[in-house]
Amino acid sequence: MKDLLVSQSLIKGFTDYKMEKECGLLFKAKYLDGLQTPPSATQKLGQFFEYLSTGALPKGGVAPECEMVYKGTPKEKPSADYERAILSSEMYQDLISKLGIEVIETGKYICDPVNKSHGTIDIYAKWERQGEFNPNWNGEPYCFIDLKYTGLIDDKWNEFGWQVDSLPEKHGLMIQGVHYKSLAETTMAIADIPFYYFLFHSKNPDYVKIIEQKIDETRASEHRILVQKTRDMVLKELETGFKHYPSLLKCKECPLFESCEYKTTLPMVEVVYY
- Please give the residue range of the domain that contains residue 46: 8-243
pLDDT at 252: 94
Contact in structure between 11 and 238 (CB atoms under 8 Å) = no
pLDDT at 70: 94
pLDDT at 31: 95
Taking the C-alpha atoms of residue 142 and residue 126, their distance in angstroms, rounded to an integer, is 4
Confirm whether 211 is domain-assigned: yes
Strand runs labelled E in 85-194: 102-112, 117-126, 142-150
- CATH number of the domain bearing residue 13: 3.90.320.10
Strands 195-201 and 142-150, by their bridges, are parallel
Confirm whether 96 is domain-assigned: yes
pLDDT at 61: 85
Contact in structure between 82 and 108 (CB atoms under 8 Å) = no
Q: How deeply is 198 buried, as exposed, middle or buried, from its count of CB atoms within 10 A (0-12, 13-18, 19+)?
A: buried
CA distances from 80 to 32, 151, 170, 192 (A): 37, 14, 31, 40
Confirm whether 1 is domain-assigned: no
Confirm whether 217 is domain-assigned: yes
Contact in structure between 210 and 199 (CB atoms under 8 Å) = yes
C-alpha closest to that of 246 among 225, 261, 231: 261
> Would you call 89 helix, strand, or coil by DSSP?
helix
Confirm whether 265 is domain-assigned: no
Confirm whether 250 is domain-assigned: no
pLDDT at 36: 87
Domain count of the fold of the chain? 1
In Å, how far from its chain's centre is CA 13? 11
Enumerate residue ranges in the chain where pLDDT < 70: none
pLDDT at 220: 86
Confirm whether 3 is domain-assigned: no
Confirm whether 45 is domain-assigned: yes
Contacts of 161 (CB under 8 A, 6+ apart): 152, 153, 154, 155, 170
pLDDT at 81: 97
